[in-house]
Every structure is written in C-alpha cells, then in structure tokens.
Amino acid sequence: MGLVRPLRGPEAGRSAEIVIDVLSSGSRWADQEHAKRPAGPHADLLLKDSEMARRRSGRFLTHLILSTAAVGFLASFVAGGASAYPGGTPDYQTDVGPFCAGCHSSTAKEDLSGLGERATAELATNKHYAAIRSGAGKYAELSETDRARLIEMLSAVDRNSTIVLEFPAQVAPGETFQVTVKVTGGAGPTVGVGLVDRPHRFFARPASALGWKVVGAPTIIGPKGPQRNWIERRPERKGRNVTFVNVEEIRSSAEDDKWSRAKIIYTLKAPSAVGDYPLVGAYFYGTETAVGLSTRMDPERGPQPLGGVLGRSGRVKFSETAIISVKPHETPPVAEIAP
C-alpha cells in the first residue's frame, strides 16, 4: 500500500510487529466502518473500483494515524506512568492544541459549539459528575452523601479556576509587545496555559498559526515566584519560544477555600499584515486533587485523582477572546507653531 515502509536497523524487528498489529486492526476497522455506512444499497455500485480503493485507503490512513497515536499514548502510560497526565505534561514542551486533552471535561457548551450533542456530553456535569453521582468505578468508595458533597466541592474548584488575558488593544504590524495570562485555582501540582486563536476544544489552533510569534521563553510566575525549571528542560537550541507552558507548585484546596495564582508573560511579535486578530488563553487544570475526598496518595507519584488517569477530572477552559487591532500607530500631527 506504500503507506508503511519497512524499518531498518536494530529496531526493525520489534517495530515491524507493532506495524503489523496496527495494520490488521486498521483494516478491520475500515471494514466494519464500511459495513455500517448507512449509504443507500446502490451507492457503492456507482463508484468505480479505483475510486472505492482510494476511499478505503483514505479511511485506512486516517485510522492508521489514530492507531499509531493510541499506541504511543498507551505506551506513555506503561513506560512512564509518573509523567502521564495527572501531574501535567512535563514532557510535552511545544505548542499545544486543546484537542489533546480528550479526557478533560468542559465548563461551557460554547467551547464545543457546532458539535451538536458532543458539546453537552463534554460538560463536566455529564462527563465527570455523572460518574461520581452514580458511584461508578472508584467513586463507589464514597457514600452517596460524600459523592454529593464531592460534586459541590469540585464545582467550587471550577468556579475558582479562572483565566484572563491582559493585552494591548492595538499594536503596530511587526511590533513586539507583551500579553499576560493570569490564572487562579487549578488543583495542582501543575496547571497548563497556552495561547490559541479561538475558544474551542477541537477547532483552536496555537496562536502562532495566526502569525502571533512568541519571542523568547515565556516568563512563568508561579505562586511562589518566577519558575524556570520546566521551560529550561526544552533545549535552548530548539528555541523556548513556545505558546504552551506548565506552571508548577500549584496547590489549591477547596476545603480551605485556598486558590493558587500564577501568571505567564509572553512577549509576542505582531503579524505583519494589518487586521483585527483574535488571541485566547487556554487553561488546562485538574480538579480532584484539590479536594481531600477525591485525592489518593501514591507513595511514588504523590497525590492522584480518585477518578484515575483515565478519569474525567481534568478541565479545559478559555479566556475571553481578545481582539487586537494590528495597524500602524498614528503619528501625532506636528503642532503648528504659532507665529
């Protein structure tokens, strides 16, 4: 099919097995998908064989990519549980799109506008709290009263987890300027903050896609002051001018009504073309480890959410959309000199 080339070198044998596995599950999926396609009984007959093959391979390619991602995803849990998602994304030091946080829930339906029922299903009340309410999985450890109380406290975490963007209303084309993203709350031990182009879980792109260029490493100010550990792990020669960062040392507590604060200062270079450009802050945070009822201590990995790694206790939230006008600053008219 020409999609998968044989691998060479010492890894070849091992990788080939994975590839074959992905291949077979991929084609099985393609067949099933094809079989359940609701198209009219004659629809396929109208397609020439070659067109059919092309369509099949298109579907197959899509799934191959998905499968490969899934393999990598699972491998990351097996190989490095400690670096998996609860705890933030210590290793993903790049521009991040909120689509990656598939397990997370949303707090606003608009964040998935245009996606029909999915938008409602992604809301914390349905995706996360429904499991707690019904005592599914690990939540069965809690009494019904405690589960109701837990939902209340988790809602408080959401209310107190905020993100705002401070930005200039107007900048000149190519001008270098600063925007500050301020966040509160988030369970901790970390939160993630990024700059994107729109407040949408699946459609947002990193802000750099619109021409907002990050200049130098973002300044990360955690609850106890400036932090450099996380960003400095990204090799300097690769450039540290990324739109997404992790803030460490976050520790919020719903019981104590105590909420962490952090801010990130980005230096940006404006796009060169005149226009009104959107800019949005994206906030990735956890909820369960801010509440005693839903926190379990792991001797090696520290506080873990009761709902587990595959739970729905993470959130994605967006700031308001900032519209920054990119146009030359007006030069003040030269004052006339009175005779």
- Residues at the interface with ligand HEC (CB under 6 A): 85-89, 92, 96, 100-104, 187, 190-192, 284-289, 305, 309-311, 313-314
Minimum CB–partner distance for residue 63 and ligand HEC (Å): 18
List beta partners, residue 326: 171, 275
Minimum CB–partner distance for residue 68 and ligand HEC (Å): 15
Minimum CB–partner distance for residue 299 and ligand HEC (Å): 17
Which CB, 19 or 191, lies closer to ligand HEC? 191
Which CB, 23 or 115, lies closer to ligand HEC? 115
3-state SS, 16-73, equals: HHHHHHHHHHHHHHHHHHHHCCCCCCCHHHHCCHHHHHHHHHHHHHHHHHHHHHHHHH
Which CB, 153 or 270, lies closer to ligand HEC? 153
Q: Are strands 314-318 and 105-106 parallel, antiparallel or unpaired?
A: parallel
Minimum CB–partner distance for residue 102 and ligand HEC (Å): 5
Residue pair 192/96 in contact (Cβ under 8 Å)? The answer is yes
Question: To which residue do tokens 């107007």 refer?
Answer: 170
Minimum CB–partner distance for residue 133 and ligand HEC (Å): 17
Which CB, 180 or 295, lies closer to ligand HEC? 295
Residue with smallest beta-carbon separation from ligand HEC: 286
Which CB, 90 or 278, lies closer to ligand HEC? 90
Minimum CB–partner distance for residue 146 and ligand HEC (Å): 17
Minimum CB–partner distance for residue 130 and ligand HEC (Å): 15
Which CB, 23 or 231, lies closer to ligand HEC? 231
Minimum CB–partner distance for residue 276 and ligand HEC (Å): 28
Neighbouring residues of 205: CB distance < 8 A, sequence distance ≥ 6: 97, 196, 197, 198
What does the alpha-carbon distance between residue 200 and residue 203 come to, in Å, rounded to a whole number? 5
Neighbouring residues of 259: CB distance < 8 A, sequence distance ≥ 6: 160, 161, 184, 185, 252
Minimum CB–partner distance for residue 120 and ligand HEC (Å): 20
Residue 7's Cβ-count burial label (10 Å; 0-12, 13-18, 19+) is: middle
Residue pair 216/318 in contact (Cβ under 8 Å)? The answer is no
What does the alpha-carbon distance between residue 75 and residue 53 come to, in Å, rounded to a whole number? 32
Which CB, 253 or 313, lies closer to ligand HEC? 313
Which CB, 89 or 106, lies closer to ligand HEC? 89
Helical spans, DSSP H, in 236-331: none
Q: Which of 270, 287, 288 is nearest to 279 (CA)?
A: 270
What does the alpha-carbon distance between residue 131 and residue 148 come to, in Å, rounded to a whole number? 11
DSSP letters for 154-172: HHHHHHT-EEEEE--SEE-
Which CB, 259 or 277, lies closer to ligand HEC? 259
Q: Which of 26, 25, 29 is nearest to 37 (CA)?
A: 29
DSSP category for residue 232: H
